Structure 1
């Protein structure tokens, strides 16, 4: 039987189809201004027998498709434990929020902390800052790793941080140095959240920001532990939902 999980996030939509725990198909699309239409695009031509939704748009999906739903916390916990059986601490930084999840025996969620009240320290923050410095999102992290010195960014509010970046540019500061300062500000916030819950050990890093090599490097340097990024970090939630559905959740 084919089980599908769909993660409807603020920036992207992911779908994973599994059979007996093995991934059979993966789909992804931007959420855009029309999540309902994008959900239809993602699912077009995808074969599955049942489906479970997670993410911001799960309630929309539940009504439209009469499907089961699961919280992001539980879905990411299950997906992470499947990909990395030793996972106890999960950091997920997506487009509009960040969260730290602690797993106990059997992969059960023990506790978590989530920042979903503003874009500070999220993918949207990095996207806006990259644009302010005329970097593509793909080159933003690698460029920050080329910095020659560390600049401190004091503001984490996206609006105020953008103003601070503009001031640094007008002072003639190198944009790679500014980029590093911005990445350090994100890592400081994420590491602080992790430390409030962390039992120790490696960090499993998921979500779109996990693709940023500078964030991964700086987290490892700050926490002094391996930060593990799966091949497709944005699919962890959808995979977790599919696995939970297959397991009878």
Structure 2
């Protein structure tokens, strides 16, 4: 039997397939303005990738901020549960999750069975999220996939004092005008975001080993800044961005 999970995030839509309790395939596309269309598109693209049809899918679970819009799913479930399930499926030793997505960040504490013991979520402010980093990247005219390399070349991280994205952007623009090194500014942006995320991790008393998930996990500068703030190494898997969709697919197999 094949099971599907669809995760509609604010920036990207992800889909995953599980067969015989193993990951079969994943796919990621930009969400765009219509979450239902994104869900249909990412699901159909994934089916085409593995050359199977919709009739081969036994059950579908949707998750993410746009989960309720996926009207062809059998059930919608929260990101917290799906990220916990996906992480435990990929690595049963993990006890903590730090997920940094486009519009929110989360810290999740798991028990040995992969059940969520505690979690904290920042969903009222863009600071410490992918959107915060994206806004700063645009101000600096640097592609998102280049940020990590830039920040790791910094000799001193610039100090970003504002926790508000709008005010922080103004600070960055002033730093650019003041001819501060772009590498140092980017390192400062990562340290500022990491400080916000670390608060959530400390709040849930996160335990090692900890896996970082979400699209921001692909940014090695942000990973390094978080590790420095937390005082331990983070595990970043090959499917960090698709973790929620993987968890949704696993949960679909249990319906």
Partner of residue 142, structure 2: 135
Partner of residue 27, structure 2: 27
Gaps of 5+ in 1: none
More moved, 86-95 vs 104-113 = 104-113
Give secondary structure in 2 for the equivalent of 1:95. coil
Give secondary structure in 1 for the equivalent of 2:23. strand
**C-alpha distance 10-99 of structure 1, shift in aligned 2 (>3 A):** same
Q: What TM-score does the superposition give when structure 2 sets the normalisation length?
A: 0.93
Contact 2:108 2:206 in 1 (8 A): no
Q: CA deviation at 1:2?
A: 0.7
Residue by residue over 1:193-231, the C-alpha shift from the partner in whole angstroms, topping out at 9 and shown as x without a partner, is 111212432221000000010111122222222200010
Contact 1:89 1:198 in 2 (8 A): no
Confirm whether residue 209 of structure 1 aligns to residue 213 of structure 2: no
Correspondence for 1:51 among 44, 47, 60? 60
Correspondence for 2:249 among 220, 242, 249? 242
Contact 1:78 1:240 in 2 (8 A): yes
Partner of residue 147, structure 1: 154
Q: How many residues align?
A: 246
Partner of residue 170, structure 2: 163
Q: CA RMSD in A?
A: 1.3
After TM superposition, the runs of 4+ consecutive aligned structure 1 residues lying more than 3 A away are none
Contact 1:183 1:215 in 2 (8 A): yes
Give secondary structure in 1 for the equivalent of 2:156. coil
Partner of residue 231, structure 2: 224
Distance in 1 between residues matched to 2:128 and 2:228, nearest whole Å: 18
Partner of residue 14, structure 2: 14
Distance in 2 between residues matched to 1:113 and 1:8, nearest whole Å: 20
Distance in 1 between residues matched to 2:144 and 2:73, nearest whole Å: 36
Distance in 2 between residues matched to 1:150 and 1:53, nearest whole Å: 39
Aligned pairs for 1:31-42 within 5 A: 31-42=31-42
